[in-house]
Amino acid sequence: MEELDFIIETTKELMDESVKYLEKELLNIRAGKATLICFQA
């Protein structure tokens, strides 16, 4: 049972790190309203 608890705890920690990384990356996405200047070429 201790081994299972260790695996679960380790997995939770890794998943938390993954979520934090994803949140950080999502903050870098620049999304907004497109202006006409963007489409004029």
Whole-structure pTM value: 0.61
Looking at residue 41, its pLDDT comes to 56
Where are the domains positioned within the chain? 2-39
Query: How sure is the predictor about 39, in pLDDT bands with cuts at 50, 70 and 90?
Result: low
**Residue 31 scores a pLDDT above 60:** yes
Distance from C-alpha of 32 to C-alpha of 29, rounded to nearest angstrom: 10
Tell me the backbone φ, ψ of residue 29, rounded to 5 degrees.
-75, 125
Torsion of CA 6, 8, 14, 20, to 10 degrees: -130
DSSP 8-state secondary structure symbol assigned to residue 35: -
Q: Which helix (H) or strand (E) holds 5?
A: helix 2-27
Would the pLDDT of 34 be above 70? no
pLDDT in tens, 3-25: 999 999 999 999 999 999 999 99
